[in-house]
Every structure is written in C-alpha cells, then in structure tokens.
C-alpha cells in the first residue's frame, strides 16, 4: 500500500529527477479531500488538456469550471517542459474507471482493455494534465515529452514502482482518448529506461521440428521417378532431401521437392550407411522405411508420423 508523501517531499522528488517545477499559489493545500480520501495511491495518470496557451491551461487546471471544480490534476506539463504544481491531494482528473485495470496495475500485469466505470480513480492516481489540443495534429515538443517522462519516473522512483504504474486516461476510463499524439507504451519504455529497469525479454516460441508423414513420403518415392517433369507431390520430400544434402548424399540442386531418381539413389546410400541402419539388398532400395527415416530425422532435426 503506497501512501502519498508530504507535499514538499513530492516537490523534492520532481526536482531531484531534473524536472523544471513552477509552484502555483497554495498548491500544497489545494485539493478535493472534502469529497473523499486520496490514497492509497497506485499509479500515475497522464492526460491532455484540449487547450492551447500555457497560462490559460494552468489557470483552468487549477480552478476548474462550474461543472468540474479544480484542481483538475496535481501538475500541468506545458509545452515548454515545465511542470506547474496546482494541487496536492484528491483532484478531479481520473473519474470513474475500470476496477480490472486497477487490479492489473497493482499486480504488475498488463492491464486489460477498459470496459467499466465502477471505481473512483481520483482516489488512487496522481494526475498530470499536459497542454495539447488532443487532435492528433498538435505537436508534442521533445522537451514536453521529456518532462512527462521525468515527472512519471520521479513518482515511480519514490514508491519503488516500474513504469507499469504509468497509464493514460484512455486506459482507465471507457470513451477517453487522452493522451493523443504519442503512445503510452512508448512513454512507459522511456520511464523504465530512466529508472534503469531492463526491457522485458522477448520470449520467442520454440522452433517446431518439421513433421514428415511416412505414408505420403513413400507414395512420392514410388510415383515421382516415373512421372513426367519434376512434380512435387508431397512437401515433406523437401525436408528429407535437405537432410540427405546435409549428410553429403545428395547434390543440392536435386533438393527440389521431387523424389526423383537422384533422391532414390541418395536415400539408398543412407539406408546402406551405418547411421541409416546398414541395410543391404532390397532393404536398401531408396524407398524410405520407418526405421531408416526415424534415424535420419533424429540426426537432422525432423520427426515422422506413420
């Protein structure tokens, strides 16, 4: 359970992270605590303001309006990269959101898509409003994005969180689109890099061994040599021919998926070899058998089904 630190400690966290801070009036005691508790805190929420003009934006976020009294956040991040502190405590920024998202954030998991509005986010989140029209065209200056990164990292560092605790309003409350113009995944990556959290390793699926169907392979071995041209009647022939090439028994140009005379000859050599079973006579006729094919697959990386 994370308890918000005193206001001056919060300020010092931002300063220590290199944030350019502007203290606005009585920000330390300006809040909506009379409407409900603030805390325990579980994350940082990023918004865009749908406004232009830094002074107007800061005033609006501090004072709010008739339908939504201020403060509307804890800090306003203007386009010049400064963080204007306008309140500390409960603020009207998050609104109702999805309890499944909250549980995922607390558990360090990837949050699901938000589809409910049943949980009071104003209680549980720090909020930063970022000066931007939110139309997808209004630019996000590098200095502003850096300030968002630093502010979020400062709070995460204070509480021992990773960037999984940093979310956008769009990820919390259904119907919201903010912040628009950069991705929260990209911002979380920046925050984790600043915090020294290593990137999550990408787990690649284990390569699956090719599977060769013995009955289909035998059918190809019996029909292909007499066929006109070089038809490919079973794709698994290529797997077997590649193994025969690796064994030095078949010239690579003949590894074409057509089980022709050259492949028959090469497979007969495999059957006669010690590794292939030391077969002789009619047992080494170049038509695959289960035992010799199993040995070839074990050595060159494929499995068989009968």
Mean per-residue pLDDT, 14-41: 97
When the pLDDT of each residue in the chain is averaged and rounded to a whole number, the result is 95
> Rounded to an integer, what distance in angstroms lies between the CA atom of residue 117 and that of residue 95?
8
Please say if the pLDDT value at position 116 is more than 90: yes
Mean per-residue pLDDT, 273-302: 95
pLDDT level of residue 205 (50, 70, 90 thresholds): confident
Domain-wise residue ranges, the chain = 7-195, 211-305
- CATH of the structural domain 7-195, one choice from 3.40.50.920, 3.40.80.10, 3.90.420.10, 3.40.50.300: 3.40.80.10
Mean per-residue pLDDT, 274-284: 95
Determine how many CB atoms are found less than 10 A away from the CB of residue 108. Answer: 10
Please say if the pLDDT value at position 201 is more than 90: no
Per-residue pLDDT, 203? 76
Q: Are 261 and 222 in contact (CB under 8 A)?
A: no
Question: How large a percentage of the chain has pLDDT more than 90?
Answer: 93
pLDDT level of residue 212 (50, 70, 90 thresholds): very high
Per-residue pLDDT, 208? 86
pLDDT level of residue 224 (50, 70, 90 thresholds): very high
Mean per-residue pLDDT, 204-232: 91
pLDDT level of residue 60 (50, 70, 90 thresholds): very high
Please say if the pLDDT value at position 39 is more than 70: yes
Please say if the pLDDT value at position 219 is more than 70: yes
Please say if the pLDDT value at position 193 is more than 80: yes
Q: Are 140 and 185 in contact (CB under 8 A)?
A: no
62-80 pLDDT, tens per residue? 999 999 999 999 999 999 9
Please say if the pLDDT value at position 264 is more than 80: yes
274-285 burial string, b = 16+ CB within 10 Å, else e?
eebbebeeeebe
Per-residue pLDDT, 78? 98
pLDDT higher for 286 or 204? 286
Within 203-300, where are the H helices?
214-223, 236-246, 261-272, 290-300
Please say if the pLDDT value at position 186 is more than 70: yes
Of 225, 261, 259, 262, nearest to 240 by C-alpha is 259
Q: Cis ω on the peptide bond leading into residue 60 (within 30° of 0)? A: no
> Rounded to an integer, what distance in angstroms lies between the CA atom of residue 149 and that of residue 70?
24
pLDDT level of residue 1 (50, 70, 90 thresholds): low
Question: How large a percentage of the chain has pLDDT more than 70?
Answer: 99
């Amino acid at each position: 359970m994370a308890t918000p630190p005193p206001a001056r400690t919060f300020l010092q966290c931002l300063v220590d992270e290199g944030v350019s801070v502007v203290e606005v009036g009585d920000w330390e005691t300006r809040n909506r605590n009379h409407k409900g508790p603030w805390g325990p805190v579980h994350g940082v929420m990023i918004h865009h303001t749908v406004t232009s003009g830094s002074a107007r934006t800061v005033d609006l976020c501090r004072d709010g309006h008739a339908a939504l009294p201020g403060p509307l956040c804890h800090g306003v991040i203007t386009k010049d990269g400064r963080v204007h502190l306008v309140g500390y405590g409960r603020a009207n920024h998050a609104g109702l959101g999805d309890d499944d998202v909250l549980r995922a954030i607390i558990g360090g998991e990837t949050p699901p898509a938000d589809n409910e509005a049943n949980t009071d986010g104003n209680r549980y989140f720090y909020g930063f409003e970022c000066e931007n029209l939110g139309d997808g065209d209004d630019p996000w200056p590098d200095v502003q994005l850096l300030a968002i990164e630093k502010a979020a990292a400062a709070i995460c560092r204070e509480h021992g969180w990773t960037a999984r605790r940093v979310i956008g309003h769009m990820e919390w409350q259904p119907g919201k689109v903010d912040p628009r113009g950069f991705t929260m995944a990209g911002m979380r990556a920046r925050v984790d890099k600043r915090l020294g959290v290593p990137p999550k390793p990408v787990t690649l699926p284990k390569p699956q061994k090719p599977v060769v169907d013995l009955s289909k392979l035998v059918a190809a071995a019996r029909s292909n040599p007499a066929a006109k041209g070089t038809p490919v009647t079973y794709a698994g022939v290529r797997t077997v021919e590649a193994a025969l090439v690796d064994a030095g028994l078949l010239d690579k140009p003949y590894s074409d998926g057509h089980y022709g005379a050259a492949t028959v000859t090469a497979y007969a050599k495999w059957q006669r070899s010690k590794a292939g079973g030391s077969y002789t006579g009619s047992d080494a006729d170049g038509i695959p058998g289960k035992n010799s094919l199993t040995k070839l697959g074990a050595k060159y990386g494929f499995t068989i089904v009968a």
